[in-house]
Amino acid sequence: MHSSLKGKHLLATQDWSLEELEELLAVASMLKMQRRMGEFHDHLLRAKTFFMLFFEESTRTRNAFEAGVHQLGGHAHFLTPKATQIDHGETPKDTVRVLSRYGEGLGIRKTFGEGHKYMREIAAWSDIPVINMQCEDYHPTQVLADIMTMKEKFQNALRGRKIVVSWTSAPNYVRPLSMAHSLVLLMPRFGLDVALAHPKEFSLKPDVMDQARKNAEAAGTRFDVIDSMEEACRDADVVYAKGWGPIMETEDEQEGIAIIDKYRENGSMDWVVDQRKMDLTRHDSIYMHCMPYDRGVEVTDEVVDGPRSVVIDEAENRLHIMKAIMAATMAGI
């Protein structure tokens, strides 16, 4: 299978055509099937190097990329700003011009500050594909694993199905908007109707909302904004509830946490995925989350451990998507 994606950066799914995304998903499905059949594909990236630059901690993203490049026959280098000259002020231009001489691909995770701007600057000077491993606004590798999972669970029949993208009151720190943004942008392009649910303080960025509505209009799908998770869940096929911060309301961390916490006062379950809400959905609906989730805060054990939860399948698909991204962009497979 020959891919036309060699050398292409993946900074946001919006940068890729639907045909290119479908091509990538086909590669991921092929690699997944080969792995299940015990077929090795370690020739695809033999002797190639993928650099992983992490500004924050990671579980699934780091391990999926690291395991994936190994299975493809390549090697991953784990980098941090502190362990490089980045913390000492080396510019994005100088960093990537050198790494481009050493390897064949570069992934970056920077979810706070101007991560996406940093990645765009890196990509502008890079001779190798640059992959967004998550920034403050986008998480393309996760959302592609999500759409892969939905296509598997619904036998590719996604048009006319409804996905709930809902806020939850995840505690302790202000999470970025990247998952909510990525979901509302990508899901309409694959034919899903989107119901975005959140309290008034948790609006998404206006330019992302405008683009999401344009995507829905172009695809002939619905895009609705609702202020109730319960109402959004009625007749839904997919429930994807994930916390994010009141970024458009305040940039103060403690003020943001206080706003998040007030929606759990007096034991409120309004913004928790529980069985009562899942009972409002369609009979074959699924529960999804990018992980990690806060049990009893974002979702009850009954739901996340129940028969409709596909979170582990979803997490596994991170591996196959990331292998496909590396194989397609680094080797043209």
Give the count of domains, the chain.
2
Q: Which residues of 300-314 are buried (b: 16+ CB within 10 A; e: fewer)?
A: beebbeeebbbbeeb
Claim to verify: residue 285 and residue 191 sit in the same structural domain: yes
The candidate with the shortest Cα–Cα distance to 208, out of 229, 192, 228, 194, is: 194
The phi-psi region of residue 7 (left if phi > 0; otherwise alpha if psi is between -120 and 50; otherwise beta) is left
CA atoms lying within 13 Å on the CB side of residue 255: 8
Claim to verify: residue 208 and residue 301 sit in the same structural domain: yes
Claim to verify: residue 323 and residue 209 sit in the same structural domain: no
pLDDT digits 0-9 by tens, 111-150: 999 999 999 999 999 999 999 999 999 999 999 999 999 9
Identity at 158, one-letter amino acid code: L
Helix (H) and strand (E) counts for the chain?
Answer: 12, 9
Low-confidence ranges of the chain (pLDDT < 50): 1
Which residues are paired to 109 by β-bridges?
54, 134
| Cβ pair 175, 204 in contact under 8 A | no
Q: What is the pLDDT of residue 333?
A: 85
Claim to verify: residue 95 and residue 84 sit in the same structural domain: yes
Claim to verify: residue 182 and residue 254 sit in the same structural domain: yes
The token duo for 116 is 């996406």
> From CA 315, how far away is CA 319, in angstroms rounded?
8
Cβ-based neighbours of 249, under 8 Å, separated by 6 or more: 201, 202, 203, 256, 259
Strands 105-110 and 286-288: unpaired
Claim to verify: residue 302 and residue 215 sit in the same structural domain: yes
| Cβ pair 53, 90 in contact under 8 A | no
Q: What is the pLDDT of residue 130?
A: 98
CA atoms lying within 13 Å on the CB side of residue 109: 21
Given the structure tokens 């979803």, which residue do they identify? 314
Claim to verify: residue 133 and residue 52 sit in the same structural domain: yes
The candidate with the shortest Cα–Cα distance to 107, out of 146, 148, 78, is: 78
Residue 94: which domain range?
13-138+315-331
The token duo for 154 is 């619904």
Burial of 113 (0-12, 13-18, 19+ CB in 10 A): exposed
Is residue 8 situated within a structural domain?
Answer: no
> From CA 171, how far away is CA 258, in angstroms rounded?
9
The pTM (predicted TM-score) of the whole model is: 0.97
Q: What is the pLDDT of residue 11?
A: 98
Is residue 180 situated within a structural domain?
Answer: yes
Provide the residue count of the chain.
333
Q: DSSP character for 256? A: H
Q: What is the pLDDT of residue 71?
A: 98
Is residue 4 situated within a structural domain?
Answer: no
Claim to verify: residue 203 and residue 307 sit in the same structural domain: yes
Asked whether the bond before 206 is cis by omega within 30 degrees of 0, the reply is no
Kindly report the CATH number assigned to the domain that includes residue 233.
3.40.50.1370
Q: What is the pLDDT of residue 216?
A: 98
Which residues are paired to 226 by β-bridges?
197
Q: What is the pLDDT of residue 285?
A: 98
pLDDT digits 0-9 by tens, 70-90: 999 999 999 999 999 999 999
